[in-house]
Amino acid sequence: MIDEVKPAGVGERMWMWIGIAVAFAGGAFVQQMGFFDFVRNNPGEIWKLLLEHIYLVGVSSAIAISIGVPTGILLTRGFMRRYRDGILNILGISQTVPSLAVIALSMTYIGIGPNTAIFALVIYGLLPIIRNSVAGLAGVDPVILDAGRGMGMNSRQLLFKVELPNAMYIILTGIRTSTVINVGTAAMSFLVGGGGLGDLIFTGIAMVDPAYMLAGAIPTACLAIFMNWAFGRVEKWIVSPGLVYH
């Protein structure tokens, strides 16, 4: 019934070889740029900046989730529904402001330091979470809401036992998008003294030193890919297998 047989066919093997070839070519390229030498010589520095980066992303995403999901829930409750589209529009417009501008604006109010960066990252990461929470909750089949209500669930039980589990996939997709984008945006924290891998990237750009720049960019990219993968796992684990998403 749900057994998906996926034959490891020729196509898959071909892609594997292409992937290996690209990795080799990429490796040769970054070697050329002096990337590996840099990493060998400064492991502590890269590690410290990576941890700072993870801290920025972790804290800002955690805050964005804990503000965004409840906001999405509130916006789909009966009494707030009429403000929903207005708020989503405003958030949508604010999303078109470049992330650099958001960071610069926050700096003028909060000053410099990691908190400014986190504030900006939270603001920037909020929209996908709110939008997906609203979309996920509004998209729950009204028939099962009626069934739940008719069976005597109160609105809290309906939310936690029916609405959230069914909206979870879409909400998690919003969180995933927000967090992965956040990993990239967090590189700009360096500009407001927030630290992170942006340090290497922007210094590398300023000094026209590809090794420096790659030492920041490659871990950032790896972190983004890892987060994406990790959320994929979380999704499988949280979203009910009864919902046909995976």
Site for other proteins in 166-195 (CB under 8 A): 166
Site for other proteins in 117-146 (CB under 8 A): 141, 143-144, 146
Please identify, among the stretches 18-26, 36-44, 152-160, 206-214, the one whose residues bind other proteins according to the rule CB under 8 A: 152-160
Q: Does the protein bind other proteins through residue 7 (CB under 8 A)? A: no
How many residues of this chain bind other proteins (CB under 8 A)? Answer: 24
Q: Does the protein bind other proteins through residue 149 (CB under 8 A)? A: yes
Of residues 38 and 169, the one with the C-beta less far from other proteins: 169
- One-letter-per-residue 3-state SS of the chain: CCCCCCCCCHHHHHHHHHHHHHHHHHHHHHHHCCHHHHHHHCHHHHHHHHHHHHHHHHHHHHHHHHHHHHHHHHHHCHHHHHHHHHHHHHHHHHHCCCHHHHHHHHHHHHCCCHHHHHHHHHHHHHHHHHHHHHHHHHCCCHHHHHHHHHCCCCHHHHHHHHHHHHHHHHHHHHHHHHHHHHHHHHHHHHHHCCCCCHHHHHHHHHHCCHHHHHHHHHHHHHHHHHHHHHHHHHHHHHCCCCCCCC
Please identify, among the stretches 6-14, 54-62, 79-87, 157-165, the one whose residues bind other proteins according to the rule CB under 8 A: 157-165
- Least CB distance from residue 82 to other proteins, whole Å? 16
Q: Does the protein bind other proteins through residue 152 (CB under 8 A)? A: yes
- Least CB distance from residue 162 to other proteins, whole Å? 6
Residues that bind other proteins (CB under 8 A): 1-2, 141, 143-144, 146-154, 157, 161-162, 165-166, 240-244
